[in-house]
Chain A
Amino acid sequence: MSRVFAVIKRDSYRDSIFLMRLSAQASRSGGVEAVSAMMATDRNKDLFAASGLMTPEIAAAAPNDLAIAIKGDAAGVDAAAALALQLLDAEPERRKSGGVGEETPATLRQAKRADAGLNIALVSVAGDFARYEAAEALALGMDVMLYSDNISLADELALKRLADRKGLLVMGPDCGTAIIDGTPLAFANRVRKGPVGVVGASGTGLQEVTCLLERMGVGIGQAYGAGGRDLKDDVGGITALAALNRLGKDPTVEALVILGKPPGRETRKKLLARIREIGKPAFVHYLGADEYSAEEKAGVAAARDLEELAVKAARHVRPSAALGDAESAPPPPSPAKSGCLHGIFGGGTLCQEAALICGEMLSSPRASNLSAPGYEKIGGSDAFSGHLFLDLGEDEFTVGRPHPMMAPDLKMDRIAAALRDPGVRVVLMDLVIGHGSHPRQAELAVEALTAAKPESEEKIVVASVTGTDADNPTRESQAKILREAGVIVLASNARAARWAARAAMGVTGDGDDQ
């Protein structure tokens, strides 16, 4: 049997919103049909009456009295009345108080408003969205490091043209490495500050060169990544040219280092012209370029591999600079026995460089999942008997999984497979350590070696470790683990490739030209 019951609080004002909330909350308790809390004004009394909630107590109440009408069964009315009174007496809910804008920003605009000093955006979200976020960053006056890939050439161009007009930089897309003001961005190594400014259209190439410089005691001013397509004539080196401008204006930068795949004809001319305008000593290496006459005529030093590039630049800064002797090439093993060389890489540029170097020395058949002159282009999973260079960082291996530098399991599987392959004599690998990279790559490589026993004992295993002793783990500690497992560790990727090719061809004697 439902009835209407009233609670009156004399001279007790509460605002109508508070009372509506109270009504709503109290009416949710069981056995209750309706709860209505209002100040007992004449108008509100009409509302009580209209909704069948009027009682003699409410009729007698004054406008400054708070009236609560509850309709329901006896138990429900009592419970709701108790709840309503409790809500009336409760202290306002205490909340964490905070300053303006304390939330984690959800957008670049919000982040920039909270902190006007933000000057670069590191973007690694999916490509469709990444291009928009990159455009936003530019609109907000920030440089962009675009780690994301899957951005069309047209969109890359749109972003770079916008950046160019605004005096900003878009590193990427698919840019894996940069070092700005001593801060490593994405895959990069800890290097000292110094006088060499680097522009690279190649991620692991940039890591290799900055690490070799560091190991020769020469520091890095800035290292800008441009993205793999920047030097094509379609893009025209917009980022590389802008980066060179910055290096030109940076008084701490004494030498310029430029590396990448061979630029388009027009872009190569523009780069050279820009280098000449800047007037600082410059060193270039374009992977796979066979002549540098224009550069050399203009006084720009050319190098034939990444190590030579680093050494030439280092010697400009410090004439005595040299890589340590500890990892100079040992004599090739005897008895000399030729066989296939399998190079298994995580770094695309390192794979490319190794393939190029070995291509001059190895007999056919040769294949790679990268495009390289003299190599048959095959899919990464195709069976092939001959010399093979695999880049596990290629798209075919990274769809739906992290880059092998972060997650080397697939790469280690391929190394183990090569070690078991009876046709293989030499296995060549890269280890790129540093920020973003898996911290136990040497250990995993040794596990692969162990797993492939006993066949692996017949193989020659050669590696280079790209990193510095400021990295964590240090380069030396990773190299030591490999050496203790019988791996030949050489000072650079180029040296490791050259030595491995000789070993695979069964060349005897001391042929190393370093």
Chain B
Amino acid sequence: MTNKLQVAVLGVDVFDAAFAESDTPYTRLDWKPPAGGDAKLVDALFRLETECVDDKGDSLIDRANREAFDRLRKGRPVLKRVRPAHEVIAGLDKETILHAGPPIAWADMCGPMRGAFVGAVKYEGLAKDDAGAETLLASGKIKCRPNHHHRAVGPMTGMISHSMPVFVVENEPFGNQAFCPVNEGIGKVMRFGANDESVIANLRWIETVLAPAIDQALVDGGGVDLKVVMAQSLAMGDEMHQRNVAASLNFHKAVAGGFHAALSGNPEGRKAVEFVAGGNEQFFLNLAMASCKAIMDPLRGIPYSTVVTAMSRNGVDFGINVSDLEGEWFTAPCLKPQALYFPGFSEADANPDMGDSAIVECFGIGGMAMGAAPAVVRFVGAGGAEDAYRYTRTMREIAVGPNPDLPIPGMDFIGIPSAIDIRRVVATGIMPVINTGVAHRLPGVGQVGAGIVTPPMEIMRRALSRFAEKRLGKCGR
């Protein structure tokens, strides 16, 4: 042996003295049973590890996940245009409305989701009032479809309807596009289920004033490389889920000239600039989401890959997609976030977790990159920067790798933990941490708090069992 013996010890400690006496470096693990001690899952994990290998004993799953990771790193999301949804999203006729999360029928939706659908129906002029909208929705004539089935994502209720403007983000090396609506600002907004006249008017203003101006700025300037903006903003203390302060400003910086030119002489110009760069610190969230969606879509359908390609919630169920299990949703009831509440609100007011925004954690920002944004960690009731670092260190356990393209300066420039591997989630019991806003359970009230949430463990376990069922016995020893 050329290397000096170095021992990892799992189990009884009676043999440790020998290592100390013989000056043999050793590491005793703080071990606990894998997969929470579930015999069936441990058996699946064991068999996947020993059976799905090539002639050299290298894991086919690890290889597939490295391929997924390479594609993730290769991804380069560029914001190209802001266009009406029906122009760019296939199959989006007037009667189709897209929503966040896994599929759900009108009758099963939570309050905010119903409120948002009513708003979207009114926005499209399909009904004059709430009662008319509800009747139409109940009639089944409106097709409710998940954003993820249309290469799109949306925060919270995630509404995308026919005429709503959406960001068009192209992942240039792969040529795929992803779509996300423009952030509506804070307060009473459709993403939290609000649907009154002021909400519709705000959306109309975005459609007629803001979106065309940004679009023109993009046409002028030739698009914005959002990966660069994300990397810069991460270094400035944003994790780009809960906190988008730097990212929103960096985005404005990237389009400032063209944006100014497009708004020149427009009486709404000042409001438009303040909307992007002033009043709404979460403006960039929707761009981060579109970027991550564009980056993650090419990871779908890689044989043997156990990487999570989407995490998404519809306010009732939490759903995930897994690369090799493309086309299948694994769902279970959403958990309520562990959150801090705005004055006057409490957990009793909280809607279960909602939105497509957890796509950013699939890429490795948001809760996965808490260490880049210590300011955010206090939402989870923890005190200091060290707690933020600990979150990100823990997330490395379930990620395929640290992604050197987005280094975290405060953590000695280690990369964000990218690409969640369901094997590691199930084996370690460590769930991806998602930073999230909390909606009021009644439509129209809006955001009542913010905090962290995780997927229900059950869906990770079910996805792993399904994967094992699909692949075991076909990998040949």
From residue B472, how far is it (CB to closest CB) to chain A in Å? 12
User: In the bound complex, do residue B31 and residue A106 qualify as a contact, i.e. CB atoms below 8 Å apart?
Assistant: yes
Distance A271 CA – B186 CA, assembled complex (angstroms) = 75
Asked if residues B8 and A132 are in contact (CB atoms below 8 Å), the reply is no
Residue of B nearest to A161 (CB): B477
Q: Are B15 and A47 in contact (CB under 8 A)?
A: no
**Residue A24 at the B interface, CB < 8 A?**
yes
Indicate whether B132 reaches chain A with its CB closer than 8 angstroms: no
Contacts of A303 in B (CB 8 A): none
Q: Given A34-B344, A406-B14, A108 and B34 touching (CB < 8 A)?
A: no
- Check if B55 is an interface residue, CB within 8 A of chain A: yes
B391 within 8 A of A: no
In the assembly, what is the distance between CA of A121 and CA of B45, in Å? 18
Smallest beta-carbon distance B447→chain A, Å:
11
A101 located at the interface, meaning its Cβ lies under 8 Å from any Cβ of chain B in the complex: yes
Contact A132 B414, CB 8 Å, known A111-B29, A184-B18? no
Q: Which of the 9-residue segments A112-120, A282-290, A333-341 touches chain B? A: A112-120
Say yes or no for B303: interface residue by CB 8 A criterion.
no
Known: A117-B4, A125-B10. A110 touches B375 (CB 8 A): no
Whether A155 and B22, one on each chain, are in contact in the complex, defined by CB atoms closer than 8 angstroms, is no
> Quick one: which of B5-22 are within 8 Å of A by CB?
5-12, 14-15, 17-19, 21-22
Residue contact B32 to A119, C-beta cutoff 8 Å: no
- Asked if B176 is an interface residue, CB under 8 A from chain A, the answer is no
Q: Are the C-beta atoms of A114 and B50 separated by less than 8 Å?
A: no
Selected contact of B6 from candidates A119, A135, A158, CB within 8 Å: A119
Q: Which of A15-23, A364-372, A441-449 lies at the interface with chain B? A: A15-23
Contact of A92 with B7 in the complex, beta carbons under 8 Å: no
Give Cα distance in the complex from A34 to B412, angstroms: 42
Q: How far is the CB of A248 from chain B (nearest CB, A)?
A: 13
B340→A114 contact, CB < 8 A: no
Considering the chains assembled together, what is the distance between the CA atoms of A184 and B19 in angstroms? Answer: 8
Q: Which residues of A contact B390 (CB under 8 A)?
A: 103
B18 touches A92 (CB 8 A): no
Chain B residues within 8 Å of A135, by CB = 46, 49-50
- Chain B residues with Cβ below 8 Å from A181 are 1, 4-5, 24
Among A21, A50, A94, A105, the residue within 8 A (CB) of B30 is A105
B343 near A: Cβ within 8 Å?
A: yes
Stretch at the interface among B204-212, B268-276, B356-364, B380-388: B380-388
A133 within 8 A of B: yes
Min CB distance, B236 to chain A, in Å?
A: 15
* Beta-carbon contacts under 8 Å, A116-168 to B: 117-126, 128-133, 135-139, 142, 147-148, 155, 158-159, 161-166
Q: Say how far A192's CB is from chain B's closest CB, in angstroms.
A: 12
Q: Are B343 and A38 in contact (CB under 8 A)?
A: yes
Q: Are B6 and A95 in contact (CB under 8 A)?
A: no
With A123-B10, A133-B10, A182-B22 already in contact, the answer to whether A101 and B381 are too (CB < 8 A) is no
With a 10 A CB-CB cut-off, give which of A24, A133, A222 has the most chain B CB atoms: A133
Q: How far is the CB of B308 from chain A (nearest CB, A)?
A: 18
Q: Does A297 contact B (CB under 8 A)?
A: no
- Is A158 a contact of B27 with CB atoms below 8 Å? no
- Pick the contact of B15: A94, A118, A436 (CB < 8 A): A436
Considering only CB atoms, which chain B residue lies closest to A121 in the complex? Answer: B8
Residues of B within 8 A of A115 (CB): 6, 25, 27
Q: Per-position contact with A for B370-394: 1 when CB-CB < 8 Å, else 0?
A: 0000011011010111110110010
Contact of B343 among A47, A111, A117, A190 (CB under 8 A): A47
Are A137's CB and B4's CB within 8 A?
no
- Chief secondary structure at chain B's binding surface: mixed
Is A268 positioned at the interface, with any CB of B under 8 Å from its CB? no
Residues of B within 8 A of A110 (CB): 397
A466 contacts partner chain B, Cβ-Cβ < 8 Å: no
**Identity of the chain B residue whose Cβ is nearest the Cβ of A166 in the assembled complex:** B57
Q: Is A53 an interface residue (CB 8 A)?
A: yes
Are B8 and A93 closer than 8 Å at their CB atoms?
no
Contact partner of B344 (CB less than 8 A), chosen from A36, A125, A406, is: A36
User: From residue A171, how far is it (CB to closest CB) to chain B in Å?
Assistant: 12
Within 8 A of A (CB), among B38-76: 39, 42-43, 45-47, 49-51, 53, 55-59, 62
Within 8 Å of chain B (Cβ to Cβ): is A180? yes
Residues in A whose Cβ lies below 8 Å from that of B42: 128-129, 132
Which one of B22, B28, B29, B411 contacts A107 once the chains associate, using CB atoms below 8 Å? B29
Known: A24-B340, A100-B414, A135-B46. A186 touches B30 (CB 8 A): no
Query: What's the nearest-Cβ distance from chain A to residue B57, in Å?
Result: 3
Q: Which of A48, A98, A117, A136 contacts B49 (CB 8 A)?
A: A136
Interface flag for A43 (CB, 8 Å): yes
Q: Which of B10, B22, B30 contacts A121 (CB 8 A)?
A: B10
A158-B8 contact, Cβ under 8 Å, with A105-B29, A188-B18, A406-B14: no
Minimum CB–CB distance for A54 against chain B, Å: 11
Residues 245-286 of B, flagged 1 when their CB comes within 8 A of A and 0 if not, give 000000000000000000000000000000000000000000
Bound: A96/B42 CA distance, A: 36
Q: Does B202 belong to the interface (CB within 8 Å)?
A: no
Residue of A23, A125, A180, A222 contacting most chain B CB atoms (<10 Å): A125
Cα distance, A120 to B378, chains bound together (Å): 40
User: Does A357 interact with chain B (Cβ within 8 Å)?
Assistant: no
Tell whether, in the assembled complex, residue B389 and residue A183 are in contact, meaning their CB atoms are under 8 Å apart.
Answer: no
Contacting pair A186 B378 (CB below 8 A) = no
Q: B7 and A122: CB pair below 8 A?
A: yes
A21 is contacted by which of B9, B51, B55, B378 (Cβ under 8 Å)?
B378
Q: What is the CA–CA distance of A219 and B24 in the complex, to the nearest angstrom? A: 19
Report chain B residues within 8 Å CB of A495.
none
A120 and B5 contacting across the interface, CB-CB below 8 Å: yes
A111-B27, A435-B17 are contacts. A100–B4 as well, Cβ < 8 Å? no
A122 to B8, CA, bound (A): 6
Which chain B residues lie closer than 8 Å to A320 at the CB level?
A: none
Interface residues of A in 61-109 (CB under 8 A from B): 69, 92-101, 103-109
Q: How far is the CA of A121 from the CA of B381 in the complex (A)?
A: 37
CB distance from A7 to the nearest CB of B (A): 14
- What residues of chain A lie closer than 8 Å to B428, measured between beta carbons? 106-107
Q: In angstroms, how far is the closest chain B Cβ from the Cβ of A38?
A: 7
In this complex, which of A34, A135, A163, A164 has the most chain B Cβ atoms within 10 angstroms of its Cβ? A135
CA distance A164 to B25 in the complex (A): 26
Which residues of chain B have C-beta atoms less than 8 A from A250's C-beta? 1
For the complex, is B33 an interface residue (Cβ under 8 Å from A)? Answer: yes
- Decide: A119 and B3 in contact? CB cutoff 8 A: yes
**How far is A121 from B8 in the complex, measured between Cα atoms in Å?**
5
Q: How far is the CA of A406 from the CA of B15 in the complex (A)?
A: 11
Q: Return the contact of A124 from the options B10, B37, B383 (Cβ within 8 A).
A: B10
Asked if A124 contacts B11 (CB within 8 A), the reply is yes
Can you list 25 contacts pairing A with B, beta carbon distance less than 8 Å?
A15-B378, A48-B343, A53-B344, A92-B383, A93-B384, A95-B385, A103-B393, A110-B397, A121-B7, A122-B7, A122-B8, A124-B15, A125-B10, A125-B31, A128-B42, A129-B37, A129-B42, A136-B49, A139-B62, A155-B46, A162-B57, A181-B5, A184-B18, A184-B22, A186-B15
Q: Kindly list 18 other residue pairs between chains A and B, CB separation below 8 angstroms, not including A106-B428, A115-B27, A158-B46.
A: A17-B378, A34-B343, A92-B384, A93-B383, A95-B383, A96-B386, A111-B8, A111-B29, A113-B396, A122-B8, A122-B11, A124-B10, A129-B33, A136-B49, A139-B62, A184-B18, A185-B15, A186-B15
A residues whose Cβ falls under 8 Å from a Cβ of B: 15, 17-18, 20-21, 23-24, 34, 36, 38, 43, 47-48, 50-51, 53, 69, 92-101, 103-115, 117-126, 128-133, 135-139, 142, 147-148, 155, 158-159, 161-166, 180-188, 190, 222, 246, 250, 406, 435-436
